[in-house]
């Protein structure tokens, strides 16, 4: 498994505490550092503020060969409703071409639908496959939230990429058989939300009132960390790393210091028995805690 640097924090204020996005030059320097230190995949999206512009500014510098990078981006959400077949293809192609111009590249390695409900629309998925056949994207798929959405995408011909949530708190994809299904259809998987928008690194005092129920769960994490002599970040990484069906873990950072720490910690291993304990300890986390989309801020 490898790391994939997500860029939502570079393009907009983001995270559980609403961290401010950094200046463009600082964000580009983070991308430079990451790609010079073993991180070859970058994830972005039109919906992430000016994140595509940040990635484009980085790619325009040509500090690393384009063919050594894996760049993924996503179609603007909710723009394909009520379009006929011809309009679907045209809209998808034109939006991807606009992203390619912004990104300063002539192709992306993966192009995703950012509206997970489109996974149930074979007509939209068929239209999406056109940009792969035209060479504008090497892989196509959907950014999903639910196991059923992942299954629907993978069972559609020509879909070969999924981005999904999977974390120490969120085991739904494993329980739903998604990783086994992906192996059978040769679908590449990138997992996001390992840190749950920063929740797992908050102190008890920093946890906002709407996530009060997370406090005892974080205390359980701290107990395991003390016992093993590791950090919460290492624990979170280790849980995702155990899943062999995932090719990349998508992570985001707020600073260069955090980026350096995450790259370092990702290379650490934890005892297998601890990974097995995590499976039991955090198997029934309430949805309103593990899924940011359900947070009642």
pLDDT value of position 284: 87
Confidence of residue 109 (pLDDT cuts 50, 70, 90): very high
- Tell me the C-alpha distance between 221 and 218, whole Å: 5
Please give the share of the chain, as a percent, with pLDDT higher than 90. 86
Q: Which residue has the higher pLDDT, 16 or 128?
A: 128
pLDDT at 33: 98
- pLDDT of res. 18: 74
Q: What pLDDT does residue 121 have?
A: 96
**Residues 116-165 pLDDT 10s:** 999 999 999 999 999 999 999 999 999 999 999 999 999 998 999 999 99
**Band (262; pLDDT cuts 50, 70, 90):** very high
For residue 185, the model assigns a pLDDT of 84
Q: Does residue 21 contact residue 11 with C-beta atoms inside 8 Å?
A: yes
Indicate whether 255 pLDDT > 80. yes
pTM of the entire structure? 0.95
* Pick from 172, 88, 165: nearest CA to 122: 88
Using alpha carbons, list the distances in angstroms from residue 96 to 25, 114, 123, 164.
25, 13, 18, 21
| Backbone dihedral angles phi then psi of residue 249, each to the nearest 5 degrees | -105, 120
Note whether 1 and 249 are within 8 A (CB): yes
For position 73, what pLDDT does the model report?
98
Tens of pLDDT along 37-93?
999 999 999 999 999 999 999 999 999 999 999 999 999 999 999 999 889 999 999
């Amino acid at each position: 498994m490898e790391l994939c640097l997500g860029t939502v924090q570079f393009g907009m204020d983001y995270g559980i505490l609403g961290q401010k996005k950094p200046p463009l030059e600082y964000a580009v320097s983070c991308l430079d550092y990451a790609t010079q230190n073993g991180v070859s995949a970058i994830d972005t999206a039109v919906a992430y503020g000016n994140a595509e512009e940040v990635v484009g500014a980085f790619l325009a510098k040509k500090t690393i060969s384009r063919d050594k990078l894996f760049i993924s981006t996503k179609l603007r959400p909710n723009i394909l409703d009520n379009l006929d077949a011809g309009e679907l293809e045209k809209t998808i192609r034109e939006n991807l071409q606009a992203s390619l111009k912004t990104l300063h590249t002539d192709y992306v390695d993966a192009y995703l639908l950012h509206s997970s409900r489109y996974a149930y629309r074979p007509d939209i998925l068929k239209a999406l496959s056109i940009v792969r056949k035209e060479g504008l994207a090497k892989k196509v798929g959907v950014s999903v939230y639910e196991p059923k959405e992942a299954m629907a995408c993978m069972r559609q011909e020509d879909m070969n990429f999924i981005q999904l949530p999977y974390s120490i708190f969120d085991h739904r994809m494993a329980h739903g058989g998604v990783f086994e299904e992906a192996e059978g259809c040769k679908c590449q998987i990138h997992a996001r939300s390992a840190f749950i928008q920063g929740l797992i690194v908050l102190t008890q005092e920093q946890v906002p009132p709407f996530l009060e129920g997370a406090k005892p769960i974080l205390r359980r994490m701290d107990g395991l960390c003390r016992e093993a002599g590791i950090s919460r970040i290492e624990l979170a990484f280790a849980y995702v790393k155990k899943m062999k069906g995932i090719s990349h873990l998508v992570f985001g950072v707020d600073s260069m210091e955090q980026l350096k720490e995450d790259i370092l910690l990702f290379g650490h291993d934890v005892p297998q028995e601890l990974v097995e304990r995590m499976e039991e300890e955090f198997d029934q986390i309430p949805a309103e805690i593990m899924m940011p989309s359900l947070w009642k801020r």
